[in-house]
Amino acid sequence: MDKIKVIGEQTLSGKIYISGSKNSVVSLIPAAILSNKVIIEEVPKISDVSSLEEILKYLNVDLKFEGSSLHIDTSNMVNKDITNEYSTKLRASYYFMGALLGKYKKVVISLPGGCSIGKRSFDFHLNGFEKMGARVSNVGDLYTITADKLMGADIRLPFPSVGATVNIMLAAVLAEGRTTIDNAATEPEIGNLIEFLNNAGAKIEGKDTSKIVINGVDKLNGGKIQVIPDRIEAGTYILAGIMNGKNLEICNIRPDHLTSFFDKLRQMGANFEIRKDSVITNKVEHLKPIDVETAVYPGFPTDLQQPITTLLLMADGVSTLKETIYENRFQNTKYLNEMGANIVINEDTITVYGPTKLSGKLVKTSDLRAGAALILAALSAHGETTITDIKHLLRGYSDLIQKLTNVGAKMWLESE
Ligand code: EPU
């Protein structure tokens, strides 16, 4: 299995360019099947995209990359059962539920995969489909969802779930009549999807608000979209710059997507300067401890909770971090403690006792953002760190090693 080796304590200088957002592109690709010919620009080089490409090819969809633009042509597409060989490679495989149901009124699909960070049920998605007139049944892991006719419905989500908002929207675009989603997620990736669908002829209102209204249309005509910059990748490299940077510039970002993250960095006394579409970061000797609580957008993103934990290790005092979205998103702390940290877990909250001097160790990636937290730790640690199980990292960070070595990190991939 591949591993990453890192020699820590190198100064990072220069520019890192942020790629297209993972959580946007993984909904844009399944959404593309509702249309005939589409182009998705700024597609990141991550394995979640490769897994979606495999599903599209299996469904006889024609694909072609020109640089980072993905051209998708669904003229010869066929609806087939998506078995666990395809579905378990990533979470977002379940967006084919909404998309295939919307297009063919029938989908047979196995359970999705993705990071093991909590229960991650998808009952809101299924309840939404049922409200629109679909029937849902399952035998073991295989779900069959069918509808004679999909009808617009008024749906109120019990929690502003990103996945449920996307999936219901995908089913509703070609349904008959008007669908409303109340208490919808407002994450910027949802806005990117709305823009894409509307470019292709959908009628969706309420972008960036918690009430989305979808007026069903008969068909979508080709469209084009640029994937927004990945705010979590940006946050990860900004943290690297605050820990080890000397004029490290993180470029191609949307600062307005990172407001609550910047607020926390400011509270800590971090050294960073926000420009129009970049941030310049510098290491400071002393950081203040803070309290962080994750929340839905625009609150502090759960996907930056594990990465910022590594920064909290450097603060002069005791910080706390409360995770409110997932039940099991502290698996990074075990390995950080092995590297010299003192982090105590108490139910949904961790207490981080800083400051800590980390030392290089053999550590294992349990999930995507835990992997990011360990990369950040390895970049700061004294000596050599070996990070195993890096498949999780490759799901979400485009050209990770190249981007970091370009700015001075000493790290490399070792294959066995
Ligand atoms: N939930 C339910 N029932 C549902 C749907 C959600 O109980 O039907 C619960 C979940 O169990 C979870 C919470 O609601 O506790 C939030 O789930 P949400 O549906 O919002 O998350 P998601 O769609 O599964 C996406 C991202 C995650 C990101 C979250 C929150 C994708 C593919 N994944 O997940 O990204 O953490 O939104 O912003 O878009 C990552 O990138 O590392 C990652 C995990």
Q: How far is the CA of 269 from the centre of ligand 1 (A)?
A: 31
The tens digit of pLDDT for each residue in 229-244 reads 999 999 999 999 999 9
Whether the pTM exceeds 0.85: the reply is yes
The tens digit of pLDDT for each residue in 83-131 reads 999 999 999 999 999 999 999 999 999 999 988 888 888 999 999 999 9
Q: For ligand 1, say whether the CB of 368 is within 6 Å of any of its atoms.
A: yes
Closest Cα to residue 50, out of 65, 39, 35? 65
What is the residue with the minimal CA distance to atom 31 of ligand 1? 23
Please identify which of the residues 101, 115, 157, 270 carries the catalytic annotation. 115
Q: H helices within 105-258, ranges in order?
A: 123-131, 162-172, 188-199, 231-244
The verdict on whether 115 is a catalytic residue reads: yes
Beta bridge partners of 252: none
Residue 340 has pLDDT above 80, yes or no: yes
Using a 10 angstrom Cβ sphere, with 0-12 exposed, 13-18 middle and 19 or more buried, the burial of residue 121 is exposed
Q: For ligand 1, say whether the CB of 128 is within 6 Å of any of its atoms.
A: no
